[in-house]
A = this chain, B = another copy of it.
Amino acid sequence: MAVVSVSVVPIGTGSTSVSPYVARCQKVLEGEEGIKFQLTPMATIIEGELDAVLDVIKKLHNVPFDEGAKRVLTTIIVDDRKDKPISMQGKLDSVRSKL
């Protein structure tokens, strides 16, 4: 399992608003099985098998194109570990236990 941050931003749409695209991406994510996801103010974080997560991210990357955008900038950060299970909640718990 990996925890992956993704941000999909259309370039050149003529509007500074990105939220309609983010909302469409959330709907795509709601239709996916085998992953967990969480919206944050700067990115959406997805937890799941890396291949599955990257397949979903390809769909998210295409959302602005489907809505008419001509250029898309997608930023993906993958946190993957093999020594122990990794999860969104586990990462937060690990920090909070040290506060």
Contacts and interface: CB of A to CB of B under 8 A. Distances in A.
Interface of A: 3-5, 7, 9, 11-20, 22-23, 26-27, 38-43, 45, 47, 50-51, 54, 58, 61, 65, 70-83, 88-89, 91-92, 94-99
Contacts of A38: 40-41
A79 B64 CA distance: 13
Contact of A13 (B14, B50, B61, B88): B14
A56 to B, nearest CB: 12
Given A11-B11, A14-B13, A19-B95, A72 B81 contact: yes
Given A41-B45, A73-B77, A76-B77, 6 more contacts: A9-B9, A14-B14, A16-B71, A65-B82, A71-B79, A76-B76
